[in-house]
Every structure is written in structure tokens, then in C-alpha cells.
């Protein structure tokens, strides 16, 4: 189980394949197709962030906290908490509206989330790190294209109300807290067996280099403390 969780982003590719199979074999409405395509792209997004090219963990912490702790076990993220947080979001933001399409505000939450992902990856992370690309950008663009296609097909956002928007934003905020800030997330993050490994950090090499850092600047479980 530990090995599976440490490589959860590879499992995400298989989950994307499962959703693709559902999409291809089922008879779906436009809304359901858009949500299924969103689930496919979201799981590929996880793989782009943590698998290939990967390196998002260090970058995300650097942008959000302005500094990355030198002891990797002290990071506010590990593979277990990343798995929990990202899959929780996939379930409540994309799978739930697929199962409950009569709640329009849930569908709107998925649309808002897609555009928020684009803003974060295309603007926030790139501007903070002075880069043209960061892990997750390509699939974030894909999510936005699917969302735009869905909105174009249904003639825009006229079917949604301001109450729908308020509920959608509140739902995203609540579940962001549950997924990445709650005591449950903290408990997952305290499980040091799932601390990021040197191979995970090596994927961040281009961003480490921009900051004048190397793998040697970080300590992993089992490393001897460096002397003065």
C-alpha cells in the first residue's frame, strides 16, 4: 500500500483511462461528457504535476510559502496528503455533479474550478517563478478548453444564477479547506513514511536551479544532519 500511495500519480493515469472508457462506451448528455472529460484531464493533471514532468510539490510550496523548508519531512505536503487532497477534490468537484446533475451550482463549481486552475498555472505560478511553463499548465489549458466548449454549447452562463455562483465558490472554498487545510489533511501530512523522496525532488531541478539551489540543500528521512 505504501508503494502505491508513493506513486499515486501513476494510478491517476489508470483512473483517467477508466473515465475515458466510460466516456467512450456510455450514452451521455453534453454536460455529462464535459464532466467526464474534466475527470480525465484532472487525473492527467495530477500526473503532469507529480509524475511527468513533475516537480510541482517544491514549486507549489515555494510560491505559496515563499520558502521551502530544508527538511523535506517538514514540508506542508507529502505523497499521502497530496493523494488525499487531489482525489478528494476530483470526487466532490467533478464526480459529484456527474452523479447529481440537477444541482446546477455543483456543475458551476466544476466550471469555476477549471478557470481557477488556469489562472493559477498560467499566471500565478509562472509569474512567481518567472517561467513560461510549470507542471500542470498543459492539462489546465485542456480543462479550460473543455469548460469553454461546454459553455459555448449551452449558450453561456445565463442558466446559472448569482446564488449558484455563491454556492459554487463556497463549495470550492469549503472543500479546499477539507482537502488541504483541515485536521484530517494535517494527520495525513504527519505520516513521514510518505515524505517526498530524492527522485521526487529531482523533478524540480529546473526550478531549484533558478533559485540557486540543489538537491544537496534538502534533507530526507534517513539522512544524517549536516555539520556546521
Q: What is the pLDDT of residues 161-193, one digit of tens each?
A: 999 999 999 999 999 999 999 999 999 999 999
My answer on whether omega of the bond before 105 falls inside 30° of 0, hence cis, is: no
pLDDT reading at 139 higher than 50: yes
Over residues 46-66, the mean pLDDT reads 96
pLDDT reading at 7 higher than 90: yes
Q: What is the pLDDT of residues 143-167, one digit of tens each?
A: 999 999 999 998 888 889 999 999 9
Q: What is the pLDDT of residue 120?
A: 97
Over residues 22-26, the mean pLDDT reads 94
Model confidence band, residue 224 (pLDDT cutoffs 50, 70, 90)? low
How far does CA 192 lie from the centroid of its chain?
21
Residues with Cβ < 8 Å from 210, sequence gap 6 or more?
Answer: 129, 130, 131
Q: How far apart are CA 190 and CA 10, in angstroms?
A: 23
* Count of all residues that appear for the chain in the document: 228
Over residues 25-40, the mean pLDDT reads 95
Over residues 20-36, the mean pLDDT reads 95
Over residues 9-38, the mean pLDDT reads 96
> Dihedrals φ, ψ of 206, to 5°?
-60, -35
- The model carries a pTM of 0.94
- 201 three-state secondary structure: helix
Average pLDDT score, the chain: 94
Q: What is the pLDDT of residue 155?
A: 86
Q: What is the pLDDT of residue 225?
A: 54
pLDDT reading at 227 higher than 80: no
List the beta strands (DSSP E) in 50-115.
Answer: none
Task: Measure Cα distances from 184 to 94, 181, 191, 192 in Å.
Answer: 21, 8, 11, 15
Q: How many helices (H) and strands (E) does the chain have?
A: 13, 0
CB pairs under 8 A, 24+ apart, for 3-8? 5/79, 5/80, 5/83, 5/194, 6/79, 6/194, 6/197, 7/79, 8/46, 8/50, 8/79, 8/82, 8/83, 8/87
Closest CA relative to residue 92, chosen from 109, 69, 104: 109
> Dihedrals φ, ψ of 161, to 5°?
-105, 170
- Higher-pLDDT residue of 1, 126: 126
Over residues 70-99, the mean pLDDT reads 96
Q: What is the pLDDT of residue 207?
A: 94
pLDDT reading at 222 higher than 80: no
Model confidence band, residue 228 (pLDDT cutoffs 50, 70, 90)? very low
Model confidence band, residue 42 (pLDDT cutoffs 50, 70, 90)? very high
Amino acid at each position: 500500500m505504501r508503494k502505491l500511495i508513493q506513486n499515486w500519480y501513476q494510478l491517476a493515469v489508470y483512473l483517467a483511462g477508466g473515465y475515458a472508457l466510460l466516456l467512450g462506451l456510455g450514452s451521455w448528455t453534453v454536460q455529462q461528457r464535459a464532466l467526464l472529460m474534466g475527470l480525465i484531464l484532472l487525473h492527467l493533471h495530477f500526473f503532469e504535476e507529480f509524475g511527468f514532468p513533475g516537480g510541482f510539490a517544491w514549486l507549489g510550496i515555494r510560491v505559496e510559502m515563499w520558502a521551502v523548508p530544508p527538511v523535506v519531512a517538514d514540508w506542508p505536503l507529502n505523497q499521502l496528503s497530496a493523494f488525499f487532497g487531489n482525489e478528494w477534490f476530483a470526487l466532490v468537484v467533478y464526480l459529484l455533479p456527474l452523479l447529481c446533475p440537477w444541482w446546477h451550482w455543483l456543475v458551476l463549481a466544476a466550471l469555476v474550478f477549471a478557470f481557477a486552475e488556469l489562472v493559477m498555472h498560467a499566471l500565478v505560478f509562472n509569474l512567481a517563478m518567472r517561467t513560461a511553463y510549470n507542471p500542470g499548465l498543459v492539462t489546465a489549458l485542456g480543462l479550460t478548453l473543455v469548460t469553454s466548449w461546454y459553455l459555448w454549447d449551452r449558450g453561456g452562463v445565463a442558466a446559472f444564477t448569482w446564488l449558484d455562483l455563491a454556492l459554487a465558490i463556497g463549495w470550492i472554498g469549503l472543500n479546499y479547506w477539507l482537502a488541504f487545510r483541515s485536521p484530517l489533511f494535517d494527520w495525513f501530512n504527519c505520516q513521514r513514511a510518505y515524505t517526498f523522496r530524492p527522485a521526487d525532488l529531482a523533478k524540480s531541478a529546473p526550478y531549484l536551479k533558478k533559485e540557486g539551489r540543489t538537491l544537496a540543500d534538502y534533507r530526507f528521512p534517513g539522512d544524517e544532519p549536516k555539520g556546521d
